[in-house]
């Protein structure tokens, strides 16, 4: 893996381990991880994106009619150097009520999206929740539904 300036190697490593698990790879140590820095790179994060510069930065976004999740993610995370598919999975996981049956292609207009910080995404990967509550597993048995009048 080659890491360009502005990319966070720890997040990329977490992403690689996470995707290895999704891909059915049981032993994530089977592949070598090589991190290369460009000459003259100071080690600081040179990205202009607030999410990349501050790992605790988070935002809220009200979903407008005919807006797509891809547009929203590129507006907020566009030049952060993060994998957009991975960010999409995290946003859908954290904002289950904003999506029809957890489908990122179908959002409810007017809902507020919580756009997580890198720290919150890291906690999600580790199965922790900074607020002290349980992290949703995506199973509807974790939710409370009121049916009827």
Write out pLDDT tens, residues 12-71. Answer: 555 555 555 555 555 555 555 566 655 544 455 556 888 888 889 999 999 999 999 999
Q: How far is CA 9 from CA 39, 42, 43, 59, 69, in A?
A: 16, 14, 11, 23, 25
Burial of 126 (0-12, 13-18, 19+ CB in 10 A): exposed
- Percentage of the residues of the chain whose pLDDT score is greater than 90: 33
Mean pLDDT of 124-128: 78
Number of H helices, E strands in the chain: 5, 2
Contacts of 24 (CB under 8 A, 6+ apart): none
Mean pLDDT of 73-96: 90
- Cα(9)–Cα(36) distance, rounded to whole angstroms? 10
User: Of 20 and 134, which is predicted with more confidence?
Assistant: 20
Helix (H, G, I), strand (E, B) or coil at 96: helix
Instruction: Report the mean per-residue pLDDT for the chain.
Output: 74
pLDDT of residue 132: 42
pLDDT of residue 125: 81
Band (110; pLDDT cuts 50, 70, 90): very high
CB 49 within 8 A of CB 8: no
Mean pLDDT of 85-110: 92
Check residue 63 and report its DSSP letter.
P
CB 71 within 8 A of CB 115: no
pLDDT of residue 4: 54
User: Of 94 and 46, which is predicted with more confidence?
Assistant: 94
Cα within 13 Å of Cα(131), Cβ side: 8
Q: Confirm whether pTM is higher than 0.85.
A: no
pLDDT of residue 128: 66
């Amino acid at each position: 893996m080659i890491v360009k300036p502005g990319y966070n190697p720890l997040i990329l490593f977490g992403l690689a381990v996470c995707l290895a698990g999704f891909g059915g790879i049981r032993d994530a140590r089977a592949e070598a991880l090589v991190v290369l820095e460009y000459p003259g790179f100071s080690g600081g994060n040179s990205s202009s994106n607030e999410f990349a510069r501050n790992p605790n930065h988070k935002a809220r976004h009200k979903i407008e009619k005919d807006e797509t999740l891809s547009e929203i993610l590129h507006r907020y995370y566009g030049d952060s150097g993060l994998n957009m598919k991975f960010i999409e999975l995290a946003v859908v996981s954290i904002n289950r009520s904003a999506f029809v049956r957890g489908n990122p292609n179908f959002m409810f207009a007017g809902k507020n999206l919580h756009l997580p910080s890198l720290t919150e995404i890291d906690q999600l990967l580790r199965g922790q929740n900074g607020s002290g509550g349980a992290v949703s597993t995506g199973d509807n048995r974790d939710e409370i539904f009121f049916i009827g009048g």
